[in-house]
Structure 1
Amino acid sequence: MIAKVGGSTSILQTQHYLVEKDPTRLAWEHPRHLASTDREFVISQMREVAKDSRTNQPIYHYSLSWDESDNPTRQQMIEAATQTLRDLRLEEHQALLVAHNDHDYKHLHIMVNRVHPVTCTAWDRYRDYIKLEKSLRRIERKYGWKEVPGHHHQLDGQQEPEFGNSLNQFECAQIKKGQTPLFLLIREQAGHDFREAQSWENLHHRLAEKGLTIQRGSRGTGGKVTDGFEYTNLSKIHRDFCMGRLEKRLGLFQSLKEVQQGKQLTDIQRAFARYERAHRLGRPGQARSFKNGLQKTLKALGTARKIQKSLNTLLAISSPGNPAFKAVSMIGKTMINHIKQHEQSRGRGY
């Protein structure tokens, strides 16, 4: 089991992320010291308790994730969450347990009101990761689930993971600040993309929709993923996503640029590819320049039909969900609307 601490401390924002942002992923909810899981009720009750405290950060949000080989029941997940709350000394606080079903592994989110309902004092999260890891190690052995020795606590006979095999110093610093390292974000948000992709091109398009890029390792071996700001190794995201295993499934690695170079691209497709790459790799100056060039090219086409046709050709090297395609598509649609309005005005003799 692993635990991750979320960054949101707002009652409304945390509840929205867990329950309303994507209702299709909601498996079940379970209240603690709350009479209902009703949205308005949970928010009003937590606010009622929190208002008597001086804190402006009333929520502590963390998640528990089980290994894919584990298959806890709903009751066992509730019991595990209850034990972590007890070990954090939050057992008397209001809490909402929310299970999601959007991953192959079981995971549960816990949204806790830091303010005690009687004393009205806010719980101090000092050394929370140590307390969480101690709690998880005991829970794993109690239920016979896969043991994952932590960086902050290990049971007798367990060795502390080495940085090279798990977290580097930068990632450890992120965790201590309550931030989520990039490899965990990718594992959570794009794990299904790695598993479902049928080709390198398909995988590149899937990841590009999330602003991610796969690159060959700096020494010509292995692979890494970047969001334009940070990098993480493919193998760190999941052992099944290492370059060797991906190449066995998808063939010899090709970057998105190499895939595109193997096609006979039109001028506007090449211009879009440059813009999309700059946008994805976090190069705002280049992206702005390429975008302006695309805008001029589309405008020079003159007719709504030609603009729409050009936009359609971009889907041969991108996908509808790609942020860069959405931006260019919006520019093109605005031009098309202006052209149609102008033609209608001329038709009426204005």
Structure 2
Amino acid sequence: MIAKHIPIRSLRKSDFANLVTYITDAQNKTERLGQVQITNCEASSLQDAIMDVMATQRINTRATGDKTYHLLVAFPAGENPSASVLKEIEERLCTGLGYGEHQRISALHHDTDHLHIHIAINKIHPTRHTMHEPFQAYRTLGDLCTELEQLHGLQQVNHAFCHRISENRALDMEKHSGLESLVSWIKRTCLNELSSAQSWKELHEVLHKNGLELRERANGFVIEADEGPMVKASTIARDFSKQKLETRLGPFEAFLEQKGQKRRQYQKEPLRLRVNTSALYAKYKIEQQTLRESQEVALKKIQRHMDREIKAAKRANCLRRATIKVIGEGRAVKKLLYAQASYALRTEIQTISKKYQKERQDLYGTHKRCTWADWLQKEAIQGNVEALAVLRACEGTRCLKGNTVQGEGQPRHGPIPVIDTITKKGTIIFRAGMSAVRDDGNKLQVSREATFDGLQEALRLALKRYGNRITVNGTALFKAQIIRAAVNSQHPITFTDPVLERRRQDIRCTLLKKENTHERSEHDRGCDRERTRRGTGHAESSIVTKHDATRVGLPDGRNNADSIITQKSNIKRIGRIPPPQSQHRLRTLSQLDVVRIPDRGEVLLPHDVPHHVEQQGTKPDHALRRRISKPGMNQKWLKGIGRPKHFRYTTGDDSVAGSSKGSIKKSKRRR
């Protein structure tokens, strides 16, 4: 694991919003953007978090440095820690740098050979509003990476400081551009001769023969090439620092111009690889030169149009001022009109300048020059096989590790599926359903989640490129998934591992038996239905008609009327107990026992708890009955009119609510 601070080259280009927009841009790639995490921000959405950070940065008006910290965390090829481990690594690194409470936004990227995280940190504290700049962050990051590698069992990376900062920059330039730096060229061509020089004259002669010159600059020495680039002498080797050279060779002696012929000269050329890149690099230089010339022509054209419009605006303004001069108005009015004319001219010129500034920016975007490595990537995506071979021949290119699929045959070039991207090491990443498959020329790997579509696509490509003998490397789960995908896809594949091949054949035989059994059972059911139909004649009747009898080959119904009366086969007697699926239906619901299962525990309530809290019992439903207890209901009975006395309903009486004893007796007599 490597953690590195990426500083901004120009302070005026520092912008937290632009950085977050870059790291969260998927660029229409399936494998680029992973999880995006917002930390220590009040907002939940990405745009609101950016505005929150920008507002916090604007509060601090005293800080003059860069207010944004860009941290990059990269892992070795083939290493994919889990989401929880990545989150803990981010938290530990930010806390170790002193940014534990600061606002930050991180994004996980998968579009290169190395899994990496971009972290955009706000240097301004959200509550104290002070800017924090860590001291010697590279040392702190190296120690933290060592601890985290040991804690989570990650691959050990050498975090010792083997190179100086300037040398590291030269190495980074080589990795990104693919061109040999001046430092590497000097070390390769004349380092031994420079180290063996015994005087200033010999040292200058060696440098001159190689098209170099040693000059004093500030408090040290620099080595400058004829084409312009220069490096510090101490970057080549520590023995070439000013102090050590003067100690070994005496006081510095300037170089006296000589007319000797130069043996070689530094030129920006591709790094030396196993393949010849002369033709491709010549094509690259021609394209870049053509692009540069077309860009210059377009810029000159834009500049001419802008000058023409500005001149037209100035002519119109001169005419306007001349008109103001001849009108017969007062001095104050003319002064106001002149001011309006000047303001209108300035506004129009600003509008014209903004318009053509946008056109220039669009032109730079369409005529953007690219490095040698980027040009190779573009050519490889367009199908240039030679460019792809150059990318795969770069130093440091390693085969894919982990869960991979490989064939025994020689790689064969053919049509490639939808390409998502191609890395600078020549690994092709193309889409396969919801996942992606990586191809380095020798092995295939299903990146991230191994989906069924991705596994089938990997097997199809392996069969197409390497033949039908496939080697599978990885975990036991991955091998089992590959076997299942191979069986389901029905590809003519043979695994080189005898255990995997035996397992594939067993699963295939089992599936074939199930299919045959299913087909046989379907066939038998169809035959049974046909026999039943022929035996019964019609679905609604057991008597075969004359037409049916003739159609199925039975005797004519006129001559054999009794013989065509048949019965259904397998008819059993009617039982007294219904089948299980017909038991406990609504008809017998009142006869079934009921079991009560309380959902919650039952407890006794204390004596001081109000009565309405406990479970309420059954209440009377007098509101549904006749109101027999009204005053005056028995007034006629008291007066002797002959009306029986009314009484309330009770459970033990054979009566109904609102009845009288006389009516009850009459009803009994009727019975």
For normalisation by structure 1, the TM-score amounts to: 0.52
Counterpart of 1:218, as a letter, is T
1:74 partner letter: A
Equivalence for 2:39: 32
In 1: Cα distance, 2:228 partner to 2:74 partner? 27
* Cα distance in 1 between the residues matched to 2:122 and 2:229: 33
Q: Does residue 218 of structure 1 match 2:179?
A: no
Tell me by how many angstroms 1:129 deviates. 1.8
| Among candidates 318, 333, 345, match of residue 284 of structure 2 | 318
Number of the residue aligned with 1:291: none
C-alpha distance 123-182 of structure 1, shift in aligned 2 (>3 A): same
2:171 pairs with 170, 177, 183, which one? 183
Kept in 2, the 8 Å contact 1:72–1:106? The answer is: no
Q: Does 1:47 align with 2:54?
A: yes
Q: Deviations over 1:111-147 (max 9, x none)?
A: 1111111111111222222221121111010111122
Partner of 2:111: 102
Q: CA deviation at 1:330?
A: 4.8
AA partner of residue 323 (structure 1): Q
| Contact 2:43 2:52 (8 Å CA) reproduced | no
Contact 2:108–2:118 under 8 Å retained in 1: yes
After the TM superposition, which residues 244-263 of structure 1 pair with which residues of structure 2 at under 5 Å, given as runs?
246-247=273-274, 250=275, 253=276, 256=278, 259=279
Length-normalised TM-score, structure 2 = 0.29
User: Which of 2, 13, 16 lines up with 2:18 in the alignment?
Assistant: 13
Structure 1 residue 168 displacement after superposition: 3.8
Say whether residues 1:87 and 2:96 are aligned partners.
Answer: yes
Q: Does 1:130 align with 2:130?
A: no
Instruction: Measure the CA separation in 2 of the matches of 1:26 and 1:19.
Output: 7
Map of 2:84 onto structure 1: 75
- 1:168-247 aligned within 5 A: 168=164, 170-171=166-167, 181-187=169-175, 189=176, 217-218=188-189, 229=229, 243=272, 246-247=273-274
Tell me the amino acid that sits aligned with residue 76 of structure 2: D
Deviation at 1:229, TM superposition (A): 4.0
Max radius of gyration: which structure? 2
Cα deviation, residue 89, structure 1: 2.1
- Shift of residue 32 of structure 1? 0.6
SS of structure 2 residue aligned to 1:112: strand
**C-alpha displacement at 1:66, in angstroms?**
0.7
SS of the residue corresponding to residue 158 of structure 2 reads coil
Shift of 1:26: 2.5
Question: Match for 1:97: what amino acid?
Answer: S
Judging by fraction of residues, say which structure has more helix: 1
Q: Equivalences for 1:280-295 in 2 at 5 Å?
A: none
Deviation at 1:90, TM superposition (A): 1.1
CA distance in 2, matches of 1:114, 1:66: 25
Distance in 1 between the 2:55 and 2:280 partners?
57
Cα-to-partner distance string for 1:280-299 (whole Å, 9 max, x where unaligned) = xxxxxxxxxxxxxxxxxxxx
State the match for 2:69 in structure 1: 60
Task: Please give the secondary structure, in 1, of the residue aligned with 2:37.
Answer: strand
The one-letter code sitting in structure 1 at the alignment partner of 2:22 is Y
Structure 1, unmatched stretches of 5+, are 152-160, 173-180, 191-206, 221-225, 234-240, 262-272, 274-316, 336-350
Which residue number corresponds to residue 279 of structure 1? none
Residue pairs, 1:302-341, within 5 angstroms: 317-318=283-284, 322-330=287-295
Flag the 1:329–1:120 CA change in 2: closer, same or farther, 3 A. Answer: closer
Which residue pairs with 2:130 in the alignment? 121
Alignment size in residue pairs: 221
Cα gap change, 1:26/1:228 in structure 2, threshold over 3 Å: closer, same or farther?
A: farther
Q: What is the CA–CA distance in structure 1 between the aligned matches of 2:190 and 2:140, rounded to whole Å?
A: 39
8 A contact 2:35–2:108 mirrored in 1: yes
1:260-289 residue CA offsets vs partner (Å, 9 max, x unmatched) = 89xxxxxxxxxxx6xxxxxxxxxxxxxxxx
Does the CA-based 8 Å contact 1:30-1:37 persist in structure 2?
no
Going from structure 1 to structure 2, the CA distance change for 1:331 and 1:84 (only over 3 Å counts) comes to closer
CA gap 1:134/1:169 in 2 versus in 1, 3 angstroms? closer
Q: What's the CA shift for 1:69? A: 4.1
| Distance in 2, Cα, partners of 1:121 & 1:23 | 38
Q: CA deviation at 1:110?
A: 0.9
After TM superposition, give the deviation of residue 14 of structure 1 in Å.
2.0
Q: Is the 8 A contact 1:318 1:325 kept in 2?
A: no
Contact 1:11 1:43 in 2 (8 A): yes
132, 138, 148: which one pairs with 2:157?
148
In structure 1, give the amino acid aligned to 2:145. Answer: L
Whether the 8 Å contact between 2:26 and 2:33 is mirrored in structure 1 is: no
The higher relative CO (CA closer than 8 Å, separation ≥ 6) is in 1
Task: Report if the CA contact (8 A) 1:85-1:91 is conserved.
Answer: yes
Counterpart AA for 1:50: Q
Are residues 83 and 19 of structure 1, via their aligned partners in 2, closer, same or farther at CA, if it must alter by over 3 Å?
A: same
Contact 2:72–2:119 (8 Å) recurs in 1: yes
Decide whether aligned partners of structure 1 residues 28 and 121 sit closer, same or farther in structure 2, where only a CA change above 3 A counts: same
Q: Unpaired segments of 5 or more residues in structure 2?
A: 9-13, 192-224, 237-269, 301-671
Contact 2:106 2:119 in 1 (8 A): yes
Cα offset, 1:27, TM superposition: 2.5
* SS state at 1:51 partner: helix
d(CA) in 2 for partners of 1:112 and 1:169? 23
Structure 2 counterpart of 1:34, which letter? Answer: C
What is the Cα deviation at residue 228 of structure 1? 8.0
| Distance (whole Å) between structure 1 residues aligned to residue 298 and residue 99 of structure 2 | 53
Residue pair 2:53, 2:122 contacting (<8 A) in 1 also: yes
State whether structure 2 residue 3 is matched by structure 1 residue 3. Answer: yes
Residue 120 of structure 2 is matched in structure 1 by 111
8 Å CA contact 1:37, 1:96 repeated in 2:
no
Which SS does the other structure have where 2:189 is aligned? coil
Tell me how far 1:39 sits from its aligned partner. Answer: 4.3
Task: Output the amino acid matched with 1:55.
Answer: A
Q: Aligned in 2, Cα 1:134/1:330: closer, same or farther, shift over 3 Å?
A: closer
Instruction: Name the SS of the counterpart of 1:318 in structure 2.
Output: helix
